[in-house]
Every structure is written in C-alpha cells, then in structure tokens.
Structure 1
Amino acid sequence: MSQPDKTFTLINGKRGSDTNAGIPWRNRGFQFGDGVFETMRVAQGKIPLLALHLERLWIGCDRLGLALHPDFPHWLEAFQVNLAETDSGVARIYIFRTDAGPGNYIQGHTDSHCALHFESTPDISANTWLQDSVELRSASTRLTRNKNLAGIKHLSRIEYCLALKDFIRTENTCEALLFDTEGCVIETPHHNIFAVRGSSLITPSLENVGVKGVMRTLISQLIQQLPELSWVETKLFYDDLLACTEVFLTNALKGVVPVSKCNDQCWPEASSVAFKIAHLIAEFTKDR
C-alpha cells in the first residue's frame, strides 16, 4: 500500500511537478504581493473550518478586485480528494492576479491564478485546540492603518517583516505584540488577541488594520453558548490589556494559546475562559 504524500501542490488544477504547471515570473502575486491567501488546519484528511476560510477568501478577492477562476470549485474539490489520503497538516490557498496591465495599473475585477498546497505537520492533533502558554513582548515597529486592506489576509506581508526585523525571538514560546500607529494593541504576526475583564471578552477592533482571523470569527459565534461572557470589540490600549485578568491568542492552526506573560506583566497559568473556548471549538469541529 502506497504512503500518502507528505506535501503536494496544485497550480491551476495541475500538480506542481507537472509540465507547464509553474507560475509566470510576471505574475503580480510574485511582483507586487497582489493577492490573498488562507492557512488552514488539516485534521484526519479534512479542513474543519473550510467554510469560514472560503468566506474570508471571497471577501479578500472582492476587496482587491480579483475574479476567482470558474474552475476554482473543481480545483478545490480535487485538492480535497488528495487531502483525504493524508492525516494532519497545513493546507494553503493562494489566489493572485494574472498579468493585468502595465506597472501597477489594473481595471476592475481581473483574472487570477490559484495555488493549493498541503504539507504534513505531525504536531497538529485533530483533538487539540488548546496549546501551551506563550509570552508576549512588544514590537517597536507599528502597523500602518489602511481600511482598504484591514481584515483581509493579503499576500503583501512586508509590514509584518519590518515589524519583526529587529525583534529578537529567543525561543518558540515568545510572540511579538503588534500595535498600530495610534498605539492600539492589534495582534501578533500570526494570531488575534483576546483579553478577559469582568464579564467581557475583549478583542481589538480591526476596522483600520490587522487580520480578522477565521478563529476570531468562529469565537464571536460560539460565545453565545457562554452567557456569562459578552463579546466586546473595541480599541484596546496597552494599559487596558495589562489590567485584564486573562489573555489568550487564537488562530486557525493552533486554536487557543494562553498568554502567561507580557513584557513584565504576568498572568496565572490557569486560563479558565481559554479552556472553555477551546472546548467549544473542539465540539464545533468534531466530525467536520
């Protein structure tokens, strides 16, 4: 019996190793970061949060004026057939604009290429949505506000690269806390952030900058099952964050990641709200 592929890529429906399956060097995704992407958890050969990922993908494509190829549903279906032969790992969707005109000029919704990629990752468990705690340290470079790009996951990650250029990550349990140019807490490079104060579950407003994560969206729905907590989306400043009794991070790969320390501020290891949220996520994704 053959072993399932540990990694594979479909480019416009063709295997990445097939003839003519490459991406032209003039592709605008390569030249300008002109596109969107999704990073998705694969468990037991399935993507449990696929519907939410596709919803954000469509929003991003519409925002950038990208027309999904008519064959995209068939390519995605073929990709899922391949995934069914795998176990756990990370899947990615990349949608990027084809050649659209001279320089930066584009007109309306233009055609796009699609790359679908899977990579086996043994440390992702189908049943684990609560991770070990991490520490936060403030990054000095600020994210620029831009409502046109806020919320979506676009390919141009240069601001995040700049924010981390001078950030020294001494170990994998440390994450960079990112602020915008007005000093508001926004996110980490790979997570949304939540804080608990009294009966409020607080998360930063991302109307001007930041990525509206798929897990963040799911939690906004699941919190209705926790009547003792109310969802609060607002400006969150650093002092407000430190005044909270519990802080945790979220993303679609790891689920919920408690925060034990932010610079000099420490929180207790017991994270009751994080545990409850992770349990709700596990129940939601069961059998999906």
Structure 2
Amino acid sequence: MTNFNGTILEENIILSTQNRGYTYGDALFETIKTSCGEILFWEDHYFRLMASMRIMRMEIPMNFTMEFLEAEMYKTLEANDLSKVSARIKFTVHRNEGGLYTPITNDVSYVISVNSISEDFYIHNEDFYQVDLFKDYYVSPSLLSTLKTNNKVLNIVGSIYAKENSLNNCLLLNTNKQVIEALNGNIFLVKGNIIKTPPTLDGCLKGVMRTQIINIIEALPEYELLEDSISPFELQKADEIFITNVMVGIQPISKYRKKVFIKEVSKMLLQRLNVKIRLG
C-alpha cells in the first residue's frame, strides 16, 4: 500500500504522464531506514528535505512539520504490516504538474512507499568489493549536485558500466577531476590516523549517513577528520576506503585497481554506529 498525500491506496499509484517528477525530474526523495519499527536519523532527513525543497523553489506546505511527516510514514508502515520490523522508506516530493520547463505552480505532492528489509542493524560486510573510477561523465560541483533529485542518469549509466566490467561499484569524479563519491553513497579515505572525505563544495551528496559518520569520527581523539578534496592518486596510497549510505551503513572497499585495502576502521566505526542506534 502506498501513501499519496495522506491517503493510503490499496494499489500502486499510476502517475499521470504529465507528472513533473516523470517528465522533468522535478522531484526530490529521501531513502530512510527503520530499525524494528523505529525511523532512524529522521531529524537529519527532514532538515535535508526542507533545505532541498527551498533550493528547488518548491512551496513547502504549512503542515509539512517534522511531526506530521513522521506520522505519515508510521501510518504507511502500519498499513503495510511493517510497524514492528525493519523497512526501507522512500519519501518522494514532486512539484505538481503543469507547464513546461517553467512550472505553473510551485505546490507539491508527496508519495510514501515502503518495503521490508531483513537487517535490523548494520552488518559489517566482509565480502570482496571491487571498485574503479567512472570517467565517461563528470559531476558539475554545485549546490544542485548535493541534492537527492530524480535526475540520476549519471548514476544509472555508471551502474551499468560497473555491471559490464564486473565491478561492485564505481567512484565518481567532478569536472575538476576530483573523486567525490560512489554511485550510491559518500566515500571516506583512511591514511594513518587521518580520515578524509570530500567536502560538499566538490559536488558530493550531502548524505545523512555521511553526517552520522563524521560526528562519530570527530568524537574519537585518535583520529583526525578532514573534509578536503581527494585526487585519484590518493586512492592507491590509502590504507582503507569505505562507502556510506543509510541503507548499508558502511561498505568497506576491498580493491581498487591493484591496491587491496584493510577493513579495520570501517568495522570499528560500524560498531559505534550500531551502539548509537541502540542508545537512541
């Protein structure tokens, strides 16, 4: 069952062919994890969504409070018998239809869809995980590239490239040839006691899990966090590289080209992340 503007629908929604999220990618979305029925990191998701809507010049409805949207997600989970288990929520906001490139309204509608997942907490993945650079197309570093919009063609083509080349993932470059993120998450590079992640000014997604991991690292006196540009040459010099997103938590990278990485810091950070979740 799907939630469309507060109404639970028995069937999946059939969108109009004039829906602006479909015709122009004029939509934003948040992918949110629940653990045993509890929504994780909702405050971070909410404020990112509100900031993104302002950047997209969407009209934020008066009832779009944190409490209202949280209640709508719980209502959707309950309607799908997922209120006590772990699930994946996709919360999409699209500008209402009308107009061509110039919309006739900035009013919005929302869709909430959910599906069950098996893991209540984050699991450290020891499986082999190989990546390489995706250099066919580049991300233009700007405020728009930090948003989770429906414009994900580069990620789709990059994912196809990864599959065709038997890779688990690819790392993306911006137009300045700096490494900014993976196809499905932010990246962190470990060298000695320095943990480095690209700044959002370089064009990486302003990830919710990125924020959680940064907060954990900053509380560790034995490590120094740097938000600084990463060149491709640094990848093979790193001790460890990992990817973060809200669904997998932390995904350690095993191999980039000829370099094989350890997975010690990612394992430690994942343990601390799970403790943080348990403590609420």
TM-score (norm 1): 0.86
Mapped partners of 1:258, 1:164: distance in 2: 18
Which residue is equivalent to 1:154?
Answer: 149
Partner of 1:94, secondary structure, is strand
Aligned 1:1-288 pairs, distance under 5 A: 8-17=1-10, 22-73=14-65, 74=68, 76-83=70-77, 85-86=81-82, 87-100=85-98, 102-106=99-103, 110-122=106-118, 125-133=119-127, 134-169=129-164, 174-268=168-262, 271-286=263-278, 288=280
Give CA deviations for 1:45-86 in whole Å, capped at 9, x if unaligned: 121121111121111111101123334443541321342541
In structure 2, stretches of 5+ residues that fail to align are none
With over 3 angstroms needed to count, the CA separation of the structure-2 counterparts of 1:239 and 1:47, relative to structure 1, is same
Describe the SS at the equivalent of 1:286.
helix
Note if contact 2:141-2:174 (Cα within 8 Å) is conserved in structure 1: no
**Which digits, 9 at most, give the CA deviation of each residue in 1:241-285, with x for residues without a partner?**
2111111111100111111101221113xx221122112211111
Q: What's the CA shift string for 1:79-125, capped at 9, x where partnerless? A: 2134254112211110110125x311147x81111001101122xx2
Whether contact under 8 Å (1:139, 1:164) holds in the other structure is: no
**For the residues of structure 2 that align with 1:285 and 1:120, how far apart are their CA atoms?**
19
User: Which deviations, in whole Å up to 9, do the C-alpha atoms of 1:136-162 show, x marking residues without a partner?
Assistant: 122232323141313211111122223
Q: Distance in 2 between matches of 1:160 and 1:140?
A: 12
CA change 1:138–1:23 in 2 (3 A) is: same
Distance 1:261 1:54, change over 3 A: same
Cα deviation digits, residues 127-185 of structure 1 (max 9, x gap): 334223421122232323141313211111122223344333566x7111211222211
Q: Is the 8 A contact 2:139 2:172 kept in 1?
A: no
Is contact 1:143–1:209 with CA below 8 Å preserved after alignment?
A: no
Structure having the larger proportion of residues in helix: 2
Give the total of aligned pairs.
273
CA contact (8 A) 2:198 2:204 kept: no
**Contact in 1 for aligned 2:2/2:11 (Cα 8 Å):** no
Q: 1:72 to 1:11 in 2, by over 3 A?
A: farther
Identity %: 22
Q: Give RMSD over aligned pairs.
A: 2.3
